[in-house]
């Protein structure tokens, strides 16, 4: 896989459950908010299964687990409180998945560029990637609120590719969930799924183009999808 004479090939990553294991800090924030509201905290393993569709969905699921239903205005208020607490503790326990840094270095050396397309809000996405020492590697970090659309709309991925200066015909998505796979398919972009992220069903269920169990496997998976990217 070598650098093109024109647009560099682009890898677009999901964030939570793909690049970083964020569940501990998200669940801690959820439980802090639930306890503040006089509700029951949710055991980690139960709450981890609620992670993956964005922070607001996590909050809604945590409230539902307590048989609490709130109106949209109250939900927005609680969500603002959730984000404020989360940003203060955004990398207390969050870690990159094994092999992420080495994989990015290998792809960068081969001429690839990188972007992030997540359903996490943009500001905490940038904050987290900065805390993890990765923010500077990405040409674009796009969140749920970056555009007028978000995943699984294909335009969210296409707009991310455009913001990163990429070409959709020379881009590959890497994600961990049904949402990521549907997003890539809706955009007409090949997708590699990691099998260690946040998903209700095995990620193979959603028929990504390739599945990997470790970032050490990403190079071969991408190479098998990107022969047309290589310069003769």
Q: Report, as residue numbers or ranges, the catalytic residues.
A: 14
| Distance of alpha carbon 154 from alpha carbon 133, whole angstroms | 28
Query: How many Cβ atoms sit within 10 Å of the Cβ of residue 200?
Result: 11
Give the residue carrying structure tokens 């183009």: 209
Residue 140 token pair: 């674009």
| Distance of alpha carbon 128 from alpha carbon 86, whole angstroms | 10
Count Cβ atoms within 10 A of the Cβ of residue 106 and give its class: 0-12 exposed, 13-18 middle, 19 or more buried. middle
């Amino acid at each position: 896989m070598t650098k093109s004479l024109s647009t560099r090939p682009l890898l677009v990553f999901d964030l939570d459950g793909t690049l970083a294991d964020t569940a501990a800090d998200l669940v801690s924030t959820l439980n802090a908010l639930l306890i503040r509201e006089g509700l029951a905290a949710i055991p980690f393993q139960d709450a981890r299964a609620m992670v993956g569709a964005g922070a607001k969905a996590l909050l809604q699921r945590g409230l539902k687990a307590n048989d609490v239903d709130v109106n949209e205005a109250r939900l927005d208020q609680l969500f603002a409180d959730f984000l404020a607490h989360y940003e203060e503790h955004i990398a207390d326990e969050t870690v990159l998945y094994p092999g992420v840094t080495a994989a990015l270095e290998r792809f960068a050396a081969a001429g690839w560029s990188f972007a992030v397309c997540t359903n996490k809000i943009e500001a905490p996405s940038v904050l987290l990637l900065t805390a993890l020492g990765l923010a500077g590697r990405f040409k674009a970090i796009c969140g749920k609120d970056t555009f007028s659309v978000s995943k699984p709309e294909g335009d969210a991925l296409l707009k991310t590719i455009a913001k990163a200066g990429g070409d959709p015909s020379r881009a590959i998505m890497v994600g961990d969930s049904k949402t990521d796979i549907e997003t890539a398919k809706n955009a007409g972009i090949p997708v590699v799924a990691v099998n260690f992220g946040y998903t209700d069903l095995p990620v193979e269920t959603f028929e990504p183009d390739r599945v990997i169990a470790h970032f050490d496997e990403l190079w071969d998976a991408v190479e098998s999808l990107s022969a047309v990217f290589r310069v003769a």
